[in-house]
C-alpha cells in the first residue's frame, strides 16, 4: 500500500480507488479512470485499493461449556469503504491479521459459555456476535463487514463417534418400540381371528350334529316302517352292532399294520350291545358324539340287516367264532 508511482498519468481500474499524495502527504482519493499527476509539484499515486468484497476464512479451536474441543470455520466477507479508503490505506498494515484476531477474541469468549448441542443450534448467534464486534472495530479503519458465515463446527473425532452412537441407540430404541407395538397389534388380531374361527367351527359342528341326528332319526323311522315287527330300539341295536363290525374291518384294512386284540364270540356280541345301551343311558351328555359315529353306517340297507340276523341263527354257542351248522 505504501508504493509510490512517480508518473505523469495513471489509470485506476473499475472497483478500485486510488490514493494520491503530495510530497508524501495524503491529498485526495482518485476515482476509477485516467488521472494526470505533476511529479514536479510532488504529486503522485501512492497506491490503489480494491473495493471488491474479499473473503477470509478463519479456523478457530476452542472448548465448549461441557469440555468438548471443537474447531469452528468462520468465513468473513469484507470490503474497503470508498469514502474512508484513506483510513484503510494508512491505518492498518495487515487488515487480515487484524480481522482474524478479533474473530478469535469474540468466538473464544462466547463459545465456552455454550454446550455442544446448543452451539450447533445457535451457531447463527455466534456469527451475529462476531459481526457486531467486527463492524464496530473495523469501521474505524475504513472496512465494512458484509457477512459473517459460520461455515462448519467440527468436534473431536472421538466426540463425533460417540454422538453418532448415541443417535443410533436412540433410533434403535424407537424402532424397538414401534416393533413391539406392531407385534402387539398382530397378536391381538391373531387372537381375535382364532376366537372367530373357533366360534364359526362350533357353529359348524353344531349344525353337523343336528344334521346327523336328523338323518339317523329318519333312517330309523324308514327301517321300522319297511320291516314289520321291529321297534326303534331294535333298529338302533342293529345299527350299533353293524358299526362295530365295520370298525373292526376298517382296522384290518388300515395302511398302518397295527395289531389290535379284541375278545370276540357270540356272547361278546351280545355284551357289546348291552354295553353300548348302558353307555348311552349313563352318558346322555355324550349322545351327540355317539350319533356322529353311528351316522357313518346309518344308511345300511334292510337286506344287510336281515342277512346279519339270519347269520346269527347259525352261530355255534360252543365255539369262539362263527360257523355254519350242517
Burial of residue 279, with CB atoms counted within 10 A of its CB: 0-12 exposed, 13-18 middle, 19 or more buried: middle
8 A C-beta contact, residue 265 and residue 323: no
8 A C-beta contact, residue 39 and residue 79: no
Closest CA to 219 of 296, 138, 113, 276: 296
Task: Report angle CA 79, 2, 103 to the nearest 5 degrees.
Answer: 35
**pLDDT above 80 for 256:** no
Q: What is the mean pLDDT of the chain?
A: 76
State the CB neighbour count (10 A cutoff) for residue 133: 19
Give the pLDDT confidence of 121-169 residue by residue, as tens digits: 888 888 888 888 888 888 888 899 888 888 888 888 787 788 778 878 8
* Cell 489509470, located at residue: 11
Report d(CA 104, CA 112) in Å as an integer: 12
Q: Please, what is the end-to-end C-alpha distance for the chain in angstroms?
A: 149
pLDDT band for 276, please (50, 70, 90 cuts).
low
Cell of 78: 469484507
What is the rounded average pLDDT of the residues 14-36?
88
Q: What pLDDT score was predicted for residue 157? A: 79
Give the strands of the sheet with 25-30, arranged side by side. Answer: 25-30, 16-22, 43-50
pLDDT band for 4, please (50, 70, 90 cuts).
very low
- Cα–Cα distance list, 206 to 193, 210, 211, 287, 303 (Å): 20, 6, 9, 13, 32
Task: State the DSSP string of 5-61.
Answer: B--SEEEEPTTEEEEEEETTEEEEEEPSEEEE--GGGTEEEEEEEE-S-EEEEEEEE
Q: What pLDDT score was predicted for residue 230? A: 65
pTM for the predicted model, two decimal places:
0.48
- Cα–Cα distance list, 54 to 72, 101, 106, 179, 189 (Å): 20, 17, 21, 54, 67
Burial of residue 299, with CB atoms counted within 10 A of its CB: 0-12 exposed, 13-18 middle, 19 or more buried: exposed
Give the pLDDT confidence of 48-107 residue by residue, as tens digits: 998 898 989 999 888 888 888 888 999 999 999 888 888 888 888 888 888 888 888 888
Give the pLDDT confidence of 163-200 residue by residue, as tens digits: 778 878 888 888 888 888 888 898 998 899 888 888 88
Q: What pLDDT score was predicted for residue 281? A: 57
pLDDT band for 224, please (50, 70, 90 cuts).
low
Higher confidence at residue 271 or residue 63? 63
Cell of 152: 462448519
Q: What pLDDT score was predicted for residue 213? A: 74
Amino acid at each position: 500500500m505504501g508504493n509510490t508511482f512517480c508518473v505523469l498519468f495513471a489509470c485506476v481500474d473499475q472497483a478500485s480507488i486510488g490514493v494520491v499524495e503530495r510530497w508524501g502527504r495524503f491529498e485526495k482519493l482518485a476515482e476509477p479512470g485516467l488521472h494526470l499527476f505533476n511529479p514536479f509539484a510532488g504529486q503522485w499515486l501512492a497506491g490503489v485499493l480494491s473495493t471488491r468484497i474479499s473473503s477470509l476464512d478463519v479456523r478457530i479451536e476452542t472448548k465448549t461449556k461441557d469440555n468438548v474441543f471443537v474447531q469452528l470455520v468462520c468465513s468473513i466477507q469484507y470490503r474497503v469503504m470508498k469514502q474512508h479508503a484513506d483510513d484503510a490505506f494508512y491505518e492498518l498494515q495487515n487488515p487480515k491479521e487484524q480481522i482474524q484476531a478479533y474473530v478469535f477474541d469474540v468466538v473464544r469468549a462466547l463459545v465456552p459459555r455454550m454446550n455442544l448441542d446448543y452451539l450447533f443450534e445457535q451457531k447463527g448467534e455466534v456469527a451475529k456476535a462476531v459481526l457486531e464486534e467486527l463492524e464496530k472495530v473495523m469501521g474505524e479503519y475504513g472496512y465494512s463487514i458484509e457477512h459473517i458465515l459460520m461455515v462448519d463446527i467440527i468436534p473431536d473425532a472421538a466426540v463425533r463417534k460417540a454422538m453418532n452412537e448415541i443417535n443410533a441407540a436412540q433410533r434403535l430404541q424407537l424402532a424397538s418400540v414401534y416393533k413391539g407395538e406392531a407385534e402387539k397389534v398382530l397378536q391381538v388380531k391373531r387372537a381375535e381371528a382364532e376366537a372367530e374361527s373357533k366360534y364359526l367351527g362350533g357353529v359348524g359342528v353344531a349344525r353337523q350334529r343336528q344334521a346327523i341326528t336328523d338323518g339317523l332319526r329318519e333312517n330309523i323311522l324308514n327301517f321300522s316302517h319297511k320291516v314289520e315287527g321291529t321297534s326303534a330300539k331294535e333298529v338302533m341295536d342293529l345299527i350299533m352292532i353293524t358299526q362295530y363290525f365295520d370298525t373292526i374291518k376298517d382296522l384290518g384294512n388300515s395302511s398302518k399294520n397295527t395289531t389290535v386284540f379284541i375278545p370276540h364270540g357270540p356272547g361278546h356280541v351280545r355284551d357289546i350291545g348291552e354295553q353300548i345301551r348302558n353307555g348311552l343311558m349313563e352318558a346322555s351328555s355324550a349322545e351327540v358324539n355317539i350319533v356322529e359315529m353311528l351316522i357313518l353306517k346309518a344308511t345300511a340297507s334292510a337286506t344287510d340287516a336281515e342277512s346279519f340276523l339270519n347269520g346269527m341263527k347259525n352261530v355255534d354257542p360252543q365255539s369262539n367264532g362263527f360257523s355254519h351248522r350242517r
